[in-house]
Structure 1
Amino acid sequence: MIYLLLSILFSTSLFVIFKYFEIFKVNTLQAIVVNYIVAFLLGMFSANTFNQLGSIPTQPWVYGAMFLGLLFVTIFFVMAMTAQKNGVSVASIAGKMSVVVPIIFGIILYNESVTALKVVGIIIALVAVYLSSVKEEKSTQQAGLLFPVLLFLGSGVIDTTLKYVETNYVTNNDVDFFSGSLFGFAAVFGLLILIFKQFVSKGKFEFKSIVAGIALGIPNYYSIVFLIKALQNKNFESSTLFTVNNVGIVIVSTLVGLLLFSEKFSTKNKIGVALAVLGIILVTIA
């Protein structure tokens, strides 16, 4: 349970950091690339496996880590595009509702239990995610559904792939090595994108991007490590864990927004938070 709580806290801190990126006008792409480099180095340092970098291609999880690394970079950019074209609320809803994907795969691939209580709890949780995230302001911009759909599917595929690779290929002793490696692949893909963009736009690399990237990379790394460790707890089915994790992030993010950024919450938002608590209780009991 402690790993799940830590995963929720570190994941929530990412939203706070991104909020400050906007406030301090940080180049998001540059900071994201630095963040992956920091997370990679942190993973290798934690596992004390710098001397084993040459063995990464022979690891049973290498292709999974490579695929996840590419997804990490891609979905970060899709998330940014969704926020810009459709709004932050839509991006949040699409990302959090992606919990449906690993739940479905958990039931199909691992024959996890399907009870009426779990179904009701999951439905309530999804409604709670929507109500907690929706804002009263109405945008006059009519954006398409392409990026929200890609974000929904991409985030779900990340969670599902992480569960599959962790279950079949990652041992308890390899969590840090695996986590650092997938961040390493993300850093490589991110650097290729950044170099291409810098070459085309002739932009300058900003020093504050390094500071911002370090601030983002540390909690980003631990959010993944603690999620993997939580997944290795056999007392939690993945469908239950992902539901609790995603809704928990919504609850904590809501509280942080209220206390730290004085955000306004509508009646819908308040009902959503209440339903989120109910959904977590039902899913956990189930």
Structure 2
Amino acid sequence: MIYLVLAIVFSSGVFVAMRFFKRFNLDNHQALMWNYVFATVTGFLMCGRVDTVPELVGEAWFGLSLLTGFWFIFTYLLITASTQTSGVTITSLSSKLSVVLPTMAGVFLFQETLGWQVAIGIILALVALVLVVAGGNKSATNNNRIHWWLPILIFFGTGTGDILMKLNEQRNTSDDMSFMIAFIYMISMLFGIVLVSCELICGKSKWQNKSIIGGIALGVINFFSTFCIFQAMRYFDNVVLFPIYNIGVVSLTALIGWLLFKERLTWKNYLGLAIAIIAVILISTKL
């Protein structure tokens, strides 16, 4: 249970860090690149392990981790584009509603059971996520034409990412989880370096030293968020883990926004949080 709680805390910290990125006008792509740089360094320092190329390629999770590393940064780029065109509310909602995909994958791919309490809890969880996220301030991009294909891609992208994490966890037969996570982040880092380099060469952005500081903060938080969720997967089924995790992140982020950034909660937010508590209780009957 402690890993699940820590995963919720660190994942909420990722959203808080990104909020500060906007406040200090950081370059999102450069901060993302440095995030993966320091997440990679943190992971390799924790495991204290260096494999040769043959040993690395021989790992059961090697091929899948390449796809996962690309998928991490690909999904982030979709989220960035969707935020600018469809607004924060629709983008966040699409991301969090993706809890349906790993939950259903737990039933159809991993032979996990789904009792009636959990089924009702999942339905209430989706209702709670809609109320908590959509009940906030509307995005300032209402004048722009909404590109519905981006939120749809984010829905499938985020959900697929969660499923890939579960598959990687199952293929990792050793206890050295931090090494695998560090390698996944290293792949994301390489894609990030290519992206930022192309933007700098083409003159689409200018180098920002302050993005390094933001990347350090986000990188450490991001690594421990992923590390804790991987550890939690060893103790919980998907049908239990991901609904509680997503509800917890949305609820805690809303609370932090109210306390730290003085964001006002609407009646929909409060109703969503109440329903979320009920959903967690029902889903927890499987624990």
2:221 is paired with a residue of what secondary structure?
helix
Are residue 116 (structure 1) and residue 119 (structure 2) matched?
no
Deviates more, 1:127-136 or 1:39-48: 127-136
CA–CA distance in 2 between the matches of 1:145 and 1:105?
24
CA–CA distance in 1 between the matches of 2:194 and 2:84?
23
Q: Which residue of 1 aligns with 2:225?
A: 223
**Closer, same or farther in 2 for the Cα pair 1:95/1:44, shift >3 Å?**
same
Are residue 203 (structure 1) and residue 205 (structure 2) matched?
yes
**Closer, same or farther in 2 for the Cα pair 1:263/1:166, shift >3 Å?**
same
**Closer, same or farther in 2 for the Cα pair 1:143/1:155, shift >3 Å?**
same
Deviation at 1:136, TM superposition (A): 5.3
Contact 1:89-1:133 within 8 A present in 2 as well: yes
CA RMSD of aligned residues (A): 1.3
Q: Which residue of 1 aligns with 2:165?
A: 162
CA–CA distance in 2 between the matches of 1:223 and 1:48?
19
2:151 aligns with one of 148, 151, 154: 148
1:242 aligned partner, one-letter code: F
1:142 aligned partner, one-letter code: R
Q: Which residue of 2 aligns with 1:250?
A: 250
Deviation at 1:64, TM superposition (A): 1.4
Deviation at 1:193, TM superposition (A): 1.3
1:196 aligned partner, one-letter code: C
User: For residues 50-89 of structure 1, what are the structure 2 equivalents within 5 Å?
Assistant: 51-52=50-51, 54=53, 55-89=55-89
Contact 1:179-1:224 within 8 A present in 2 as well: yes
CA–CA distance in 2 between the matches of 1:77 and 1:264?
28
Q: Which residue of 1 aligns with 2:193?
A: 191
CA–CA distance in 2 between the matches of 1:87 and 1:203?
22
2:82 is paired with a residue of what secondary structure?
helix
Gaps spanning 5+ residues in structure 1: where?
Answer: none
Deviation at 1:53, TM superposition (A): 5.3
1:60 is paired with a residue of what secondary structure?
coil
Deviation at 1:137, TM superposition (A): 3.6
2:284 is paired with a residue of what secondary structure?
helix
Deviation at 1:37, TM superposition (A): 0.9
CA–CA distance in 2 between the matches of 1:123 and 1:266?
22
2:184 aligns with one of 182, 185, 189: 182
1:71 aligned partner, one-letter code: W
Deviation at 1:141, TM superposition (A): 3.2
Q: Which residue of 1 aligns with 2:44?
A: 44
TM (norm. structure 1) is 0.95
1:112 is paired with a residue of what secondary structure?
coil
Deviates more, 1:223-232 or 1:137-146: 137-146
Contact 1:125-1:279 within 8 A present in 2 as well: yes
Q: Which residue of 1 aligns with 2:175?
A: 173
**Closer, same or farther in 2 for the Cα pair 1:207/1:148, shift >3 Å?**
same
CA–CA distance in 2 between the matches of 1:254 and 1:122?
20
**Closer, same or farther in 2 for the Cα pair 1:208/1:53, shift >3 Å?**
farther
Q: Which residue of 1 aligns with 2:268?
A: 268
1:73 aligned partner, one-letter code: I
Contact 1:11-1:219 within 8 A present in 2 as well: yes
Contact 2:114-2:239 within 8 A present in 1 as well: no
Are residue 17 (structure 1) and residue 5 (structure 2) matched?
no
Q: Which residue of 1 aligns with 2:7?
A: 7
Deviation at 1:269, TM superposition (A): 1.0
Deviation at 1:172, TM superposition (A): 4.6
4+ long deviations beyond 4 Å:
none
**Closer, same or farther in 2 for the Cα pair 1:200/1:251, shift >3 Å?**
same
Q: Write 1 or 2 for the structure with the bigger share of helix.
A: 1
Contact 1:56-1:181 within 8 A present in 2 as well: no
Deviation at 1:171, TM superposition (A): 2.9
CA–CA distance in 2 between the matches of 1:53 and 1:152?
37
Contact 2:61-2:172 within 8 A present in 1 as well: yes
